[in-house]
């Protein structure tokens, strides 16, 4: 299994599938379709007959039930694209077998080091096999590790018909990293009653809570007057932007928060005296606190408009996604099944809230409850990314055990 996992993963990350937030196409880059076509061929190659690829780049496949028991249809989902945060072309992975537990020099020329003091979780993987970047690109474990794990688990299930299971539904989706990966996902076509995204981090991670999320775009109109005659006339839109930031709670920023603590984050600021644009994202696990944060920002804007005696500041607000816990709590047994499956694979489940979003969140609100399971990767989206091969193997075993548990119960 390790060899198959490794070979699949290395083949997958050789294809640059970075999503493009500025693209107007679906999927955002053509290489995602190229990779999707390869996955279709591979799914058929391992013996799955019902496989499809649509124009949006969604790969879907189904393995029929092999039992007469009343077993729910279970889905597994991973995304095809990698993050646009760092170069994903010409990935040159490095393999460390029997890792010695010391800091790893990723790139000596650029002095890039996976330092155990900064990344202490490395110490948990002594004696195991690590795959890391060469420091010039991301690795792509997010989420090509998940794809490799699903593919390997499905191959195992097909080769072991003695394992009773219901309908198994598989999906590989585009553009998760730019937040549009579920825009055209057909839940009814997918066919699952419940699903799991295989898109988490270190071994044992099991997540069914995520942020509620909103984005607020702010437009500030100033008045640019020659500084020599500006007294009582000039309105510097950049300074108003600074006022907005300074009127928000200073400790409610990502660099000061963790766990269930939410935040405001100024993501973009671009302006001049005459005109400034800024963008915030707002995050909180608690829906009430989330709404309060939005209202606080809106009230700051209203206060400043009142201060300047004119409507200088306008804004638009858009909710992006909500905490999947609202939907998963209604069928909490799907989390329990995953916990049990992990324990049977020799893993202690680590149930933590996602300090971000996931396709599973949107899917849960589309009628498909969808917790998130680890892939074995760490430090996604950057040059320090790595994945542990033994953790990938445990993810495969977890998927298989989930199917076993559903198949054993009626």
Tokens 């096999």 belong to which residue?
129
Rounded (5°) CA angle 185-191-197: 60
Give φ, ψ of 193 to 5 degrees. Answer: -80, -40
Active-site residue flag, 339: no
Contact 287, 252 (CB under 8 A): no
Active-site residue flag, 359: no
Find the catalytic residue in 42, 143, 155, 176: 176
Q: Which residues pair with 373 in a beta bridge?
A: 198, 206
Chain center to CA of 57:
18
Find the catalytic residue in 16, 81, 205, 284: 81
Catalytic positions: 81, 176
């Amino acid at each position: 299994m390790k060899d198959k996992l490794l070979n699949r993963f290395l083949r997958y990350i050789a294809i640059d599938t970075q999503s493009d937030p500025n693209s107007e196409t679906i999927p955002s880059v053509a290489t995602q379709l190229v990779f999707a076509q390869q996955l279709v061929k591979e799914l058929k190659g391992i013996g799955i007959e019902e496989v499809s690829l649509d124009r949006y780049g969604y790969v879907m496949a189904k393995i029929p039930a092999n039992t007469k028991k009343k077993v729910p249809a279970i889905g597994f989902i991973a995304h095809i694209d990698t993050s646009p945060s760092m170069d994903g072309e010409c990935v040159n992975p490095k393999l460390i077998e029997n890792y010695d537990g010391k800091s790893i020099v990723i790139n000596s020329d650029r002095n890039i080091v996976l330092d155990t003091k900064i990344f202490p979780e490395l110490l948990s993987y002594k004696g195991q096999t690590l795959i890391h970047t060469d420091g010039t690109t991301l690795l792509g474990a997010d989420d090509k590790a998940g794809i490799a794990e699903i593919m390997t688990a499905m191959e195992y299930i097909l080769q072991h018909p003695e394992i009773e299971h219901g309908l198994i539904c598989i999906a590989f989706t585009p553009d998760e990293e730019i937040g549009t990966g579920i825009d055209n996902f057909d839940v009814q076509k997918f066919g699952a009653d419940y699903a799991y995204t295989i898109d988490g981090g270190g071994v044992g991670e099991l997540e069914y809570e995520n942020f509620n999320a909103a984005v607020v775009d702010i437009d500030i109109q100033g008045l640019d007057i020659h500084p020599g005659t500006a007294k009582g006339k000039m309105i510097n839109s950049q300074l108003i932007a600074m006022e907005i930031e300074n009127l928000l709670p200073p400790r409610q920023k990502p660099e000061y928060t963790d766990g269930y603590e939410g935040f405001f984050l100024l993501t973009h600021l671009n302006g001049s005296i005459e005109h400034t644009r800024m963008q915030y994202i707002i995050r909180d696990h608690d829906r009430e606190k989330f709404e309060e944060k939005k209202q606080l920002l809106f009230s700051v804007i209203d206060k400043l408009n009142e201060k300047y005696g004119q409507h200088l500041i306008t804004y638009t607000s858009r909710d992006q996604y909500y905490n999947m816990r609202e939907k998963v709590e209604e069928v909490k047994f799907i989390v329990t099944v995953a916990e049990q499956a992990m324990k049977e694979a020799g893993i202690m489940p680590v149930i933590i809230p996602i300090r971000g979003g996931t396709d599973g969140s949107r899917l849960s609100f589309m009628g498909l409850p969808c917790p998130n399971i680890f892939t074995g990767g760490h430090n996604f989206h950057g040059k320090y990314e790595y994945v542990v091969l033994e953790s990938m193997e445990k993810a495969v075993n977890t998927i298989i055990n989930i199917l076993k548990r559903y198949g054993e119960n009626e």
